[in-house]
Every structure is written in structure tokens, then in C-alpha cells.
A = this chain, B = another copy of it.
Amino acid sequence: MPKIVTETDRLQKRQAILDAAAAEIARYGYDRANVNTIAERAGIGIGTIYLYFQSKEDILGALLDSIGRAIDDIVQECLTQEISWSVRLQLLADAFVALAESHRDYLRVQMSALHGVNRDLGAPMSEWLRITISRLTEAYALASEQGLVAPLPPETLATLVFGTLDSFVLLPEVLSQHTDLSRSAQAVARVLWRGIAPEKSA
């Protein structure tokens, strides 16, 4: 009779590995994150890691997939709702703050992949990024046609949204400042909205 291991158990352990990996990679970067340490953090043996993931790179892939999907969900959710773009931006900023507070390590891993590691390792991330950006671009184009927002080249939109929103989590950490993210989010959302609001003149 085999040891009974429920699917839930498996998923929990898998998640424990991912969390431990995210913490290590966030702190030391992908290359310096040590698989032994990750196992230790996750409270399991080294070999066990390789029962759940094919390789260290595979772990990174899973992390990037997870955070990439989370961000895309947020964006999708914000775009789906029938609200003004002013509110939408606010919602988006708030959701980013929430994500930053619940999954700060994951967000830092994404950043790390975006800039710090070998390009091909970041593939799972840039796939999501492309999806999310095209989602944003499409919605924005529609709103622009309806005169709800000022027209904007698509790449500018992406730059604004990702460049700005991602910087929330990051800069305060790098500068060792302790900022109130929520307050900061409101300010940024307001600036962005004023920046993209349609021209008032008739």
C-alpha cells in the first residue's frame, strides 16, 4: 500500500519550495541563490526539490510564471470592470501595492529576471509581459477612440505602466527608505491620470 500523499500535500510542498526559492533569489539573485539553502528553507531534503522541479532553472520558470500570471490577472481584472480610467488607474496602483505587500519576493524575482539574469532564463516572464501589455494596449486604444483618454503610442503606455508601477516596490528598498506604499500609489495614479486624460478643450 503506497504512502498516501494527497494532491493537496503535493501542492503545498511545491508552494513551500517556490516560496523559499523566491526568498533566496530575491535576496541574492538567481545565480547566487543556493539550491541547498532553498531546500533547507523549505524544510525538505535537497533531493526532494528535484522531485518537484526538473532543475534550478525550472524553479525560476515556475516563479516567473506565477508572478507573471498574477500580474496579468490584476491587469485583466482592472480592464474588465466598467469604471472610468481615472478610477481604473487608482485600482491598478492599489492592486500593485497589494501584490507588492503579499508577494514582494516574487516581484523582486521578476525584476531580477527582467534585468539581471541571462536573457533566455527570462523567457517565461517576457511571454506574460507581452500578453499583459497587448491586453493593456488594446483596451487603451479602444478608450482612446472613444475619447476617454488622450492618444498615446503603445510602447509609451507600457513604459508608463510597468516602469512606474514596478518601481513602487523597488526603489524604496534600494534606497533603504521606508515608504507608505498606499499613499505613494495614490499620488502616482493621480499623476498618471492627469498625464493621460483627454484634452479638455472642445
Contact = CB atoms under 8 A, between A and B. Distances in A.
Interface in A144-169: 150, 152-153, 155-156, 158-160, 162-168
A27 B179 CA distance: 33
A116 B118 contact: no
A192 B114 CA distance: 24
A170 B114 contact: yes
Interface string A24-41: 000111111000000000
A118 B156 contact: no
A187 interface: yes
A5 interface: no
A111 interface: yes
A43 interface: no
A188 B159 contact: yes
A163 B171 contact: yes
Interface stretch (A8-16, A49-57, A68-76, A122-130): A122-130
Given A116-B117, A155-B171, 9 more contacts: A115-B115, A115-B170, A122-B174, A153-B184, A156-B187, A159-B164, A159-B167, A160-B164, A163-B167
Shortest 10 CB-CB contacts between residues of A and residues of B: A116-B116, A163-B167, A195-B195, A31-B31, A111-B115, A191-B195, A156-B187, A163-B163, A159-B167, A29-B117
